[in-house]
Amino acid sequence: MTPLQKAIAKARDQWRRLEDSSIPVFFVGSATCGRAAGASEVLERLRRFIEDKGIESLVIETGCLGLCYLEPLVIVHKPGSPRICYGNVGPDEIIGILQNHVLGDDPCAQWALGKMTPGDVDGIGDFNEHPMLRRQVRRILRNCGIIDPENMEHRLAREGYRGFLRALE
């Protein structure tokens, strides 16, 4: 196994652990559009809340998912539940999501755009059925808003360099 193949295998293993995390994971859209819409304030409130409550979790800043008009976007992975994407999340909404969904049983359908992973959640449909996404087949943009764009392991795990690697062969 080449060093590159080892790096890819390690990155995929890390990504699998992230997807199957036993602790909450928060993906916050922090591209220019998200920051302009208030993502920095949402991140601040999110981090303060989880620190104050002693919640073991991960917070990952992601790039743009493509729904700039719905920023700030926050994807919440709650262990045992489908991943849910929330839109137009302000500082007050993130506290509501944390208190009601992460610490409780209310998935906060009023702010949800859709489920990102399979499973049933009352009042929340599939994210890919959103009117803007319904007819899209994402190839180049499939990782946007899902990974930390500054994390090379995320890119390797999600085959972000596949074309480049093919060119080197």
Q: What is the pLDDT of residue 72?
A: 97
Q: Residue 156: its pLDDT value, please?
A: 81
Residues 6+ apart with CB under 8 A from 70: 87, 88, 113
Q: Are strands 58-62 and 25-29 parallel, antiparallel or unpaired?
A: parallel
CB atoms < 10 A from the CB of 151, how many? 16
CATH number, domain of 74, equals 3.40.30.10
Residues of the chain below pLDDT 70 = 133-134, 136, 138-143
Domain that holds residue 121: 3-168
> What pLDDT sits at residue 3?
83
What is the total count of domains within the chain? 1
pLDDT tens profile 79-120: 999 999 999 999 999 999 999 999 999 999 999 999 988 888
Listed in sequence order, the residues at least 6 apart from 155 whose beta carbon sits closer than 8 Å to its beta carbon are 11, 143, 147, 149, 161
